[in-house]
Structure 1
Amino acid sequence: MSRPGNVVNVGFVGCGSVMNGPYMSLARELRERGRIRTVAACDVDPERARATGERHDIPWVTTDPREIIDSPDVDAVLILTSMPEHGSLALAALEAGKHVLVEKPMAVTLDEAAKLVQVAKESPGHLVCAPAVILSPTYQDMWRHIARGDIGRVHLARARYGWAGPWWGKWFYRSGGGPLFDLGVYNVASLTGWFGPVQRVTAMAGTATPERVVDDELIKVEVEDNFQILLDFGDATFASITTGFSMQAYRGPAIEVYGSKGTVQMMGDDWAPAGYELWQNDAGAWKIHGDRNPRWPWTDGLRHLIDCIDNDVAPLITPEHAYHCLEVMIKAIDAGRDGQTRTVESTFTPPAFDLGDDRQDAHLVHAPER
């Protein structure tokens, strides 16, 4: 196990597009800064594992995740597999004393997720659960406006994230997959991060496209691919989430938060924010705030995990928050099937940040492309 201040040896489990693209982009940056070593990679496809090792200069590749999880030469394990495998692999890594980053969702059943939360309390390793939306500067700036009461008391919010759906990975369309776990989870994490635990959830859900061509094969879609979700935070505060593999394109803000004295809305998506717009009744005009870090990556949970290891501090993204998001999603799916509103039983302590001020540094950003 790496000690604070040491270079962290990282092993990857799952070498698909998420690992080879976004995560390795950040990992190379951390490696060049001397913060991590990318020592191992695992994939069930031996050729893909080999090609990944060669492409990214990773010296050790395997098809057995237990070899990485049990290796004394690996300090932190990144679980980047298909969603149904997240829970069991993250649990095994925590039980082995590793630091763990697990992609969203943390698991696909509440029983498995509950075990993860408990073992995370007992393990010497840190657990960071994607998505990392609460780490973005735009998210935190919006949190400050909400927490300071700049838009008054919040009554309503709406969030949206979807697209036409992947043409690879049949597991996306089978049990443990679907757009809510894959896409809507970002909105659930954002809204609960701002407003705290959900008390009740209801939904309409269905399968809009019953057959799809995936990996060049016509398959039956076995899960819902189209959702409208309503969240009740108590005290007459509600939010809606629109998500699905049912959208071809959209424009407009990803999230809008409506208060008694104003509105704040996120430009871009919450996994790829592009700043925000603020309306305050007293000002009588929209104010546009650019993103203070246009290069912020949605894989920032990896950087956060390394920071936590280096500084020996608990992650800001807590397992309890991830569990709550999973319960909300599972009960939304259940509500969509039988039309019955569900009570959400879990709770968590929402993240808090320095209240700060309104100073914006976006105008100082040069070449702001991501």
Structure 2
Amino acid sequence: MNIGIIGCGYVCDTYMSTWPQHPNLVIRGVTDIDPARAEIISKLYGLRRYASNEELLADPEIDIVVNLTSIESHTEVTRQILQAGKHVYSEKPLTMDFEQGKALVDLAREKGVLLSCAPCNTLSDTTQTMWRAVRDGLVGDVRMIYAEMDDNPIYLMSPEEWRSRSGAPWPYQHEYEAGCTIEHVGYHLTWLCAMFGPVETVTAFSKWTLPDKTDAPLNPKDTPDFSVACLDFKSGVTARVTCSIGAPWDHRMRIIGNQGMLSADTYRHYQCPVYLERFTKLSMNARKSYTVRNSNLLQWL
């Protein structure tokens, strides 16, 4: 599979760090609206630099294009890729507008190409292990899910100074403007919908809780930085998903059935251990103990 990359900013280095794990993927080259950034990535990873999006899209050897541009550029760049008749994998979010997203899906169908979007953690060893355990009935009938996406009070961690391997700054202003829900909830929605199907109703609350997180100008300035949603799945399962950038790091996934619970510490580590706790009278009473609550080993026993 021959790949072209459009966008050579901060996240490009993250993607490139995983390339050695996929020797079947051939990266034909990169391009960026900023030629200097494209040149840096080209030299650092030994890749061809295309002069423009148009030149990259005109290369008949490229099968799929990875869209790593800034959030506000995702829709238009993805549209250009689809119009060129190439498959797309876009960094999240696919778009910031639902109707634009539908239009891209329709265009991909018209062109006979595949349209996909990050994140892909549903394919991780951790998520696949949890899914198999659900299918095998190890926790009985699944009744509820708790999914956490608290990503630390990042405004206290000097995100203005974060740099990627190639020296690209982390686009903290774009992250704040898009908001932690749009940026992060997909990490949980992907595996939730894969396992439990479509959602019928959503009850949600969000709020702008950190008006002092930066002195930099934001547009809009009041995008919510906290949200909580309760999802009622058509399959009968209920899930609660929480997102924030103001609470300490918590990425836990917990699937709770009528006979036990599956849990993993994070979606981010694709080989994070999965724990199975079977419910018994003894285990439920033991959970009242502080020692047991703070020991995965004792909970497992």
Q: In which range does the TM-score fall when normalised by the shorter chain?
A: 0.7 to 0.9
The answer to whether the 8 Å contact 1:204/1:227 transfers is yes
* C-alpha distance in structure 2 between counterparts of 1:273 and 1:181, whole Å: 25
Amino acid at match of 1:50: E
Kindly state the Cα deviation for residue 45 of structure 1 after the two structures are TM-superposed. 2.1
The answer to whether the 8 Å contact 1:266/1:273 transfers is no
Amino acid at match of 1:281: F
Question: Residues 45 and 55 (structure 1 numbering): CA distance in 2 closer, same or farther, change over 3 Å?
Answer: same
Q: Which of 161, 172, 176 matches 1:173?
A: 176
Amino acid at match of 1:263: M
SS, match of residue 182 in structure 1: helix
Q: Which of 13, 18, 26 matches 1:26?
A: 18
Q: Where does structure 1 lack aligned partners over 5 or more consecutive residues?
A: 1-7, 287-370
1:145 aligns with 2:133: yes
Residue matched to 1:309: none
Residue matched to 2:9: 16
1:260 aligns with 2:258: yes
Kindly state the Cα deviation for residue 222 of structure 1 after the two structures are TM-superposed. 3.4
1:58 aligns with 2:58: no
Residues 12-91 of structure 1: matches in 2 within 5 Å? Answer: 12-20=5-13, 22-30=14-22, 33=23, 35-62=24-51, 64-91=52-79
* C-alpha distance in structure 2 between counterparts of 1:36 and 1:283, whole Å: 51
Residue matched to 2:246: 246
* C-alpha distance in structure 2 between counterparts of 1:107 and 1:137, whole Å: 28
The answer to whether the 8 Å contact 1:139/1:270 transfers is no
Kindly state the Cα deviation for residue 272 of structure 1 after the two structures are TM-superposed. 4.0
Residues 65-91 of structure 1 deviation map (CA, whole Å, 9 limit, x = unaligned): 233223324222100122232222222
User: How many residues are treated as equivalent by the alignment?
Assistant: 267
Residues 189-208 of structure 1: matches in 2 within 5 Å? Answer: 189-208=190-209
Residues 108-154 of structure 1 deviation map (CA, whole Å, 9 limit, x = unaligned): 21111112222222334333321112111221111112122221111
Q: Which of 68, 78, 85 matches 1:97?
A: 85
* C-alpha distance in structure 2 between counterparts of 1:149 and 1:57, whole Å: 48
Kindly state the Cα deviation for residue 94 of structure 1 after the two structures are TM-superposed. 1.8
Residue matched to 2:237: 237
* C-alpha distance in structure 2 between counterparts of 1:10 and 1:266, whole Å: 33
Q: What's the TM-score once normalised by structure 2's chain length?
A: 0.80
Residues 292-311 of structure 1: matches in 2 within 5 Å? Answer: none
SS, match of residue 18 in structure 2: helix
Amino acid at match of 1:255: M
* C-alpha distance in structure 2 between counterparts of 1:222 and 1:68, whole Å: 37
* C-alpha distance in structure 2 between counterparts of 1:235 and 1:58, whole Å: 47
* C-alpha distance in structure 1 between counterparts of 2:282 and 2:128, whole Å: 24
Percent of aligned positions that are identical: 27
The answer to whether the 8 Å contact 1:187/1:270 transfers is no
Question: Residues 46 and 277 (structure 1 numbering): CA distance in 2 closer, same or farther, change over 3 Å?
Answer: same
Q: What's the TM-score once normalised by structure 1's chain length?
A: 0.66
